[in-house]
Structure 1
Amino acid sequence: MAKVRFLMIGVGGMGREHIRRLLNVPEAEIVALSDPSDKAINLVKETYPELANIAVYADYQEAISQSGADAAVIVSPHSMHFEQGMACLDGGLHVLMEKPFVSGSDHAEQIIAHAKKQNRHLAVAYQRHLMGPYMYIRDLIEKGELGKINYICAYQAQRWLIGATGSWRQNLALSCGGQLNDSGSHLLDVVLWVTGLEPESVSAVIENHGREVDIDSAVTVRFKGGAIATFNVVGSASISWHEDVSIHGDKGSVLFRNNKILVAREGEKSLTEVSVEELPASSDPDIDFVDLVLGRVSEAAAPSSSGLRIARLTEAAWESAANGSKVISLSE
């Protein structure tokens, strides 16, 4: 296979971002667009004139059977991911799924098993697995420079309550959850990924602010081995975006402050900022997925198992909050 031919399912804002990335990958070719919105399709063609004559399908099932694609990128509302992903796998396509993967852990387990049965690749577009700052932090921890991880504090604030008002993201039937399941999904994922820790139990307090989905979440996680983490996902903030992650081990600490990394290694009582030059080169999920399909890498940077573990953690947080912050066990 000289090129990977892509079908794009869902071409709204994030769909156009995937298109932009793929158009810069020599080994990728976009052969079809599928979206029921004429406005979204027309905006893609206006933005990318090289796709002016591309095949367009309102029905994704027709697109799967008629487009001649090798792979699909699914960027539709969350509740549609499972059905569309299963159909793509049935049609012989490899699938790159936007976060937060599919609607719940049961569906995640089913689609992972189906991808294995169909012998097709299935990955999640958690882009932080390919971003220099997070790769640096993961490498720091894997090398043991922080020692045994004891405590993690992860904080994310976004003007999501107001910014997503009226959109499908605050429609439970389409989004399958609120801010914790949306931007918060990235925060949960990156902490689990960089630390390699496995959640053991969860408790949570959640505020919906009158909406049908979660807006603000305070989630406490106990990991196997004893580490504790607090996840503070604030969707009611007045600011557009801010994120902090602090990781403390028995030998050192690393603090992430809106793309700035500060480190204190063993014996150091103060933090030192890490220069940009020290960070690994960044990539993105689309480049990584092309490499995966072409056999250049053996596993996706964010494999489908990433989506499953975040689904389990998120569901446990929702269950805890619905039951008065009851501690929910995640042990097998």
Structure 2
Amino acid sequence: MEKVRFLMIGVGGMGREHIRRLQDVPEAEIVGLADPSAESVAQVKMSFPQLENVPVYTDYREAIAQSNADAGIIVSPHRLHFEQGMACLDGGLHVLMEKPFVDGSVNAARIIAHAESVGMHLAIAYQRHLMGPFIYIRDLVQSGALGKINFITAYQAQNWLELAAGTWRQKLALSCGGQLNDSGSHLLDVVVWMTGLEPESVSAFIDNRGTEVDIDSAVTVRFREGAVGTFNVVGSASIGWHEDVSIHGEYGTVLFRNNRIWVAKAGQTELAEVPESELPASSDPNRDFVDLVLGRISEAAAPSTCGLRIARLTEAAWRSAAEGCRVVSLLEETVV
């Protein structure tokens, strides 16, 4: 195989971002667009004139059968991910899925097992696994330079309540959850990925701010390795975006502040900013997935197991909040 032929399932705003990235990968070719929205398809054709003659399908099942694709990228409302992903796998397509993977940990485990049984690749577009600042922090933590991790604080603020108002993202039947399951999914995932820690128990307060879904979440996590972490996901903020992560180890500290990084290593009591020139090069999930399908790498930067792990953590937070901030052990959360 010299090229990977892609079927796009969902070509709204984030779908167009995947298309944009694929245009920069010489070994990628888009052979089908599947979306019931004529408006979204028209926007793609206007933004990417080179796709003018690419076939369009209103039914993703027809697209899978007729597009002659090697892989599918699923960028539809979250509730549809599982059925569309299973259909792609059954149709012989590898699958790259937008976060937060599928609706719940039970379906996450099922689709992972199914992908393994049919021998197809299944990955998640957690792009931070391929971004220089986060790779730098992961490498720093994994090197042992900070020692045993003791405490983590993670904070994300976005005017998501206003931005997503009236869209499927705030309709529980389609979104399967709110801000913690949407932008917050990136925050939960990247902290777990960077630190390599395994969540053990969770307690949470959540406020829906009058909507069907979670908007503001305060989540505390105890990790098996002994560390404690706090995740504050604010969807009702007045600002467009802000994100902080602080990781404190027995020997050192690293702070992430909107893509800028400060570090204090063993024996240092003052933080020093890390120059951008010292950060690893960045890539993206689309290029990474092409390399996976072509056999250049053996595992995706964000394999499907990341989605299962974050689904279980998110479900435990929702359960804790629903039960009055009761501490929920992830050992209680059974996956079948």
TM-score, length-normalised on structure 1?
Answer: 1.00
- In the other structure, the counterpart of 1:53 is 53
Give the CA deviation at 1:329.
0.4
1:35 equivalent to 2:35? Answer yes
Aligned positions of 1:181-260 closer than 5 A: 181-260=181-260
CA distance in 2 between partners of 1:149 and 1:260 (Å): 20
Match of 2:313 in 1: 313
- Equivalent residue number for residue 149 of structure 2: 149
- Residues 123-142 of structure 1: per-residue CA shift (max 9 Å, x gap): 00000000000000000001
Distance (whole Å) between structure 1 residues aligned to residue 97 and residue 90 of structure 2: 15
Matched AA of 1:82: F
Tell me how far 1:331 sits from its aligned partner: 2.5
Secondary structure at 2:25 match in 1: coil
Distance in 2 separating the partners of 1:270 and 1:104: 43
Q: Structure 2 CA distance, aligned partners of 1:53 and 1:68?
A: 15
- The whole-number CA distance in structure 1 between the counterparts of 2:181 and 2:308 is 13
* Structure 1: 4+ residue segments shifted above 4 A: none
1:105 is matched with which residue? 105
Instruction: Give the alignment of 1:93-172 within 5 angstroms.
Output: 93-172=93-172
Instruction: State the one-letter code of the partner of 1:287.
Output: R
Q: Does residue 282 of structure 1 match 2:277?
A: no
Report how far residue 197 of structure 1 moved.
0.1
Deviation at 1:23, TM superposition (A): 1.0
Q: Alignment partner of 2:139: what SS?
A: helix
Counting only pairs closer than 5 Å after superposition, residues 67-106 of structure 1 correspond to structure 2 as 67-106=67-106
5 Å-filtered alignment, 1:256-267, equals 256-267=256-267
Tell me, in whole angstroms, the C-alpha distance in 2 between the residues paired with 1:226 and 1:26: 45
TM-score (norm 2): 0.98
Once the two structures are TM-superposed, the CA of residue 225 in structure 1 deviates from its matched residue by 1.6
Task: Report SS of the residue matched to 1:18.
Answer: helix
Aligned to 2:63: 63
How far does the alpha carbon of each residue in 1:151-178 deviate from its partner, in whole angstroms, 9 at most, with x for none? 0000000000111100000000000000
Q: What SS does the aligned partner of 1:270 have? A: coil
| Structure 2 CA distance for aligned equivalents of residues 330 and 213 of structure 1 | 22
Length, aligned pairs only: 332
Q: CA deviation at 1:43?
A: 0.5
Q: CA deviation at 1:17?
A: 0.3
Supply the AA of the counterpart residue of 1:207.
Answer: D
Structure 1 portions without partners, runs of 5+: none
Other structure's SS at 2:62 match = helix
Q: CA deviation at 1:119?
A: 0.1
Q: Which string of whole-angstrom CA distances, capped at 9 and with x for unpartnered residues, describes residues 57-95 of structure 1?
A: 000000000000000000000000000000000000000
Uncovered stretches (5+) of structure 2, i.e. residues with no partner: none
Q: CA deviation at 1:284?
A: 0.1
Identity of paired residues, percent?
74
In structure 1, distance between residues paired with 2:60 and 2:313: 30
Write the distance in 2 (CA, Å) between the matches of 1:162 and 1:199: 31
